[in-house]
Amino acid sequence: MSTENFKIQIRKGLLEFCVLQIISIKEVYASEIIEELKNSKIIVVEGTVYPLLSRLKKSNYIQHVWKESTQGPPRKYYSITNHGLEHLKELVVSWSDINSSVKKLLKTKK
């Protein structure tokens, strides 16, 4: 298992969590999500976000509204639903669990 593969697996697992987290902070449109994810190096290519958004919407975790923009075409703004918030809370809990146990492992190693 190469480092590259490891990174892919990690990103893959965290992508949904991160997208939900970004949306839960404020109403955003797709390009903002992409920028955020690219800056934090969660995603490499932009296209991967779209299927995920569609999936989250289908699971009723997020919703969207169309808003006029000052420049260019109207934009789709995503916001989190109550259902999505609950889901996110669970994800946060499991993430911090994993995070702390991994940290523990790393410490014992040293």
Partner 1 sequence: MKKTFTISLGYSIFNVEEDAYKILKTYLDSIKNYFQKMENDSEIISDFELRIAENFSSKLSLGKQYINLSDVKEVIQIMGSLDDFKEIYDDLDDESFKENENSKGKLYRDSSNRIIAGVCSGMAEYFKIDPIIVRVIFFIAVPLNLLVYIILWIGVPSKDFDPDLRKILYRDKENGIIGGVAKGLSNYLKIDVNIIRVVFVVSLFFGGAGLLFYLLLWFFTKEAKTIGEKMNMSGFNVNLSNIEDFIKKKTKNLNSPENTLTKIFLFPFRIIAPIINAFLKIGVFVFKGVFFIVSSTFIVFYFILLLVFSRILFENVNREQDSDFYELLNAVPDYFAIFSIIFLILTIIISLIISFYVLFQRKSNFYFFMFLIFIWITFFILIIASIPNVIFILQDLDLLPFWISGFENNSFYYRWIF
Tokens read off for 47: 């296209």
Report yes or no: 63 and 20 within 8 Å, Cβ to Cβ.
no
Q: Which of residues 48-77 bind partner 1 (CB under 8 A)?
A: 48, 50-51, 53-55, 58, 72-74, 76
**What does DSSP assign to residue 32?**
H
Beta strands in 14-109 (DSSP E): 28-29, 62-67, 75-80
- Choose which of 6, 10, 31, 86 interacts with partner 1 (CB under 8 A): 31
| Span interacting with partner 1, options 17-25, 39-47, 80-88, 97-105, rule CB under 8 A | 39-47
Tokens read off for 9: 């697996």
Q: Which residues of the chain form contacts with partner 1 (CB under 8 A)?
A: 8, 11-12, 15, 30-31, 34, 44-48, 50-51, 53-55, 58, 72-74, 76
